[in-house]
Structures are given as structure tokens and as C-alpha cells.
Amino acid sequence: MNDNNGRVYIRFLGVDDTDDMLDLMLRNRELFEGVCPKRNESFYTREVQAKSIENGIKQKEEDKRYAFGIFQRETDQLIGDISLFEVQRGPHQKCILGYSMDQAHNGKGYMTEAIQLILKFAFEEVGLLRVEAGVMPRNLGSMRVLEKAGFQQEGLARKLLEINGVREDHVLFAMLVEDYLDGLK
């Protein structure tokens, strides 16, 4: 997804992105491990990153997950990733949004731009009606990003996910297609 006016663009990850994705994960390991479920040591290998990208391609074909890289337009450098996962069709027509950004690029508005691009994809291209996201209450930066992107806070899911061996609460946010369309006016 490319908005020629933005400072970032997103595109589906391919096997050619394996080394860049591994580098991103290694550079940001400490940061990401503080907000993501526990990862095995093998996660930080080229083989596992390649397999993850291959799985993402397969899941895209199955309409289950859409995994994108976030690239800085000026340099074409991979600076983060963003995905729509747990896609549910039928009466739900929803998914969960996940994302991470290289700590060297945090606080510059890049993630807000990337979220706007992926919402365009979710609502305009694959026809979803709801995009959900969950954030630990202590992750204030991520909550601000979602709010700036137009998400609305809906509640608290107690002990939703295990992070570093601890069940963590998550503040739940959602964007509806109506909210998205209203934001375009």
C-alpha cells in the first residue's frame, strides 16, 4: 500500500525481506520482548524468520493474516512490521491489528501513517468491518498511536496475554468501517 504523500509505505513481506526482518528483530530484541509473547531463541535465526514470512504468504492466500513490512520512503529501509491477523469472516468480518516499530524510529509518526495505510487495505480492499487492537496499559506510546489513528477505547481485557511469563491486562481498542469512512470526510 502506497500513499505517495506519506513518509512510509507498507508492502507484503517476501522471502527477499528475511535478512532485513532478522536484523530488525535482533536490533530491537529487548524492546519487543517487553511487549510480545515469549519467543524461543530460534526466533532470532534466519531460518525461522524465513519460515515466518513464508507462513505469512500462505496465510494471506487463505485470507487468515495479512503481514506487511513498514518501509521508510526516503531510504526503502524496513523499519517495522504491521499485520492484520485472526481474520474472521461470516458474521464477524473482523481482525486484530498487530505492529512493531524499530526503536530508532519511534515517536516520529511513522506508525500512525502505517496504521492509516493498513486500515485502507482492511476496509477498502478486503472488506472487513472491524479492526481490533489490544495494548498493555503501561504502553502509553502505543495507546496514543491508536488514538491518533482514530481507534476508540472499548474496555479492559484482564490477563489477556502472557508476556515474559506474566499474564498482562490489555486495553482494547477498535476501529469500525463507519469510523474509518467518517474520518475520510
Is residue 11 over pLDDT 60?
yes
Tell me whether residue 47 is exposed, middle or buried, using C-beta atoms within 10 angstroms of its C-beta: 0 to 12, 13 to 18, 19 or more: exposed
- The widest CA-to-CA distance across the chain, in whole angstroms, is 47
Tell the residue number behind the cell numbers 525481506, with chain if given: 17
* Least confident piece of the model among 17-21, 32-36, 57-61, 67-71: 32-36
Is residue 102 over pLDDT 80?
yes
- CA nearest to 180, candidates 151, 158, 143, 155: 151
- 18, containing H or E segment: helix 18-27
pLDDT tens digits, residue range 109-123? Answer: 999 999 999 999 999
pLDDT value of position 157: 94
Q: Which domains does the chain have, with CATH numbers?
A: 8-184 (3.40.630.30)
Which whole number is the average pLDDT over 150-165?
91
For 139-178, the DSSP string reads -HHHHHHHHHTT-EEEEEEEEEEEETTEEEEEEEEEEEHH
Is residue 76 over pLDDT 90?
yes
Which whole number is the average pLDDT over 143-164?
93
Q: Indicate the pairing of strand 94-101 with strand 66-72.
A: unpaired
Is residue 2 over pLDDT 60?
no
Is residue 36 over pLDDT 90?
no
Is residue 168 over pLDDT 70?
yes
Buried b (16+ CB within 10 A) or exposed e, 5-31: ebebbbeebeeebbebbbebbeebeee
pLDDT value of position 34: 65
N residues, the chain: 185
What CA–CA distance (Å, rounded) separates 108 from 104? 9
Looking at every residue in the chain, the average pLDDT score rounds to: 91
Q: What is the percentage of the chain residues whose pLDDT exceeds 70?
A: 95
pTM: 0.91
Which whole number is the average pLDDT over 81-95?
97
What CA–CA distance (Å, rounded) separates 89 from 94? 7
